[in-house]
Structure 1
Amino acid sequence: MAIPTSKDELLAAIEKTFTQLSGDLDRVPPDAARQPVLKGHVKDTMMSPADLVAYLVGWNQQVLTWHRRRAAGLPDEFPAPGIRWNELGLLAKRYYAEHHDDDWDGLRTQLLEAKDLILVLVEGYTDADLYGAPWYGKWTMGRMISLNTSSPYANARARIRTWLRHT
């Protein structure tokens, strides 16, 4: 899928990749949801399908936090408090730990809710807001949103599909 360059394209990309991912997550046997069967986000580690969903929930919630902080006039904390961009493995581990006790259905619901809140967020912006100027470094707001929603959804889908083919 092409990188979105407009509000409509961004909304469509989020919806399409989420729907595709959701269909594949429906195929995960619930008793396998917590088994470490996928290559982890940290080198030489394994994660479960539930960890993968926790990772997506974490990033979706992080996007919402960035926008809430900006709207409140608070300083940016990119990518997350206490984490630098070269420490994303630590952030992945944080997301896994935060959702370690969540059941499969609960994680899926959290991801759906976070995605829906992001769609509402995007709906509140114009094309100019999303793509008219850099928002963080060289990245536009729309690109930062897609980098943390539709792109990881597609990556997660590829991981899940690969695993499902071999189970």
Structure 2
Amino acid sequence: MPAATNKADLIAVAEKEFAKLDGLMKTVSPDVARRSFEDGWSIRDVVVHRAHWIDLFLGWYRDGQAGETVYFPAKGYRWNDLKTYNAHVLADCAGVDWAAAQAEMTAAHARWTGLVSSLDEVQLYGGPMKGANNTWTAGRWAEAAAPSHYRSAAKFIRACLRAAR
């Protein structure tokens, strides 16, 4: 699927993919949500993880706009440390139940939508995102943080539900 190149398409793809993910999450029972599947990850883990990464993006954008150092993926970590970083995220969220995980995903989507809706075409696609140190626009980062994550989470959930049958 090609990346969005304008605000309307970005919001449309985000709403479409979130609706799919939200619908799937509503079909998952708490016991299945906590069951370990691929590489020891549960559905709950994936949802908590994706919500966390939306908030990472929001922080990256905020920090870049403020002229502060933007840490990718997070302060003290490099991209090749993702396994360790993600393990820390999951450990920090171990007590989050399935209802709270779903609520956090919905809230993260609302925060993402709030930011994207507040930006104009130039802020989203007029040039590289401030602080990112690459050529990706804020819109491209926003798409990677939300619609792309919704799509991959939905794919994971569908596979888990098939395996649980």
TM-score by length of 2: 0.91
Once the two structures are overlaid, the 10-residue window that deviates more, 142-151 or 65-74, is 65-74
Alignment match, 2:146 = 149
Residues 43, 160 of structure 2: 8 Å contact kept: no
Return the alpha-carbon distance in structure 2 between the equivalents of residues 95 and 151 of structure 1: 19
Runs of 4+ residues over 6 Å off in structure 1: none
Q: Residue in 1 aligned with 2:36?
A: 36
Whole-Å separation in 2 of the counterparts to 1:71 and 1:133: 13
Question: Please, which runs of 5 or more residues in structure 2 have no aligned partner?
Answer: none
Superposed displacement of residue 70, structure 1:
2.7
Partner of residue 3, structure 2? 3
Matched with 2:115 is 121
Aligned equivalents of 1:69, 1:150: Cα separation in 2: 22
Higher strand fraction: Structure 1 or Structure 2?
A: 1
SS of the counterpart of 1:52? helix
Kindly state the Cα deviation for residue 94 of structure 1 after the two structures are TM-superposed: 2.1
Report % sequence identity: 33
Structure holding more helix per residue: 2
Q: Which structure 1 segments of 5+ residues have no match?
A: 40-44
Contact 2:43 2:156 in 1 (8 A): no
Letter in 1 for 2:66: A
Cα RMSD for the two superposed structures: 1.3
1:61 aligns with 2:58: no
Q: Distance in 2 between matches of 1:93 and 1:82?
A: 14
Structure 2 CA distance, aligned partners of 1:20 and 1:52?
A: 15
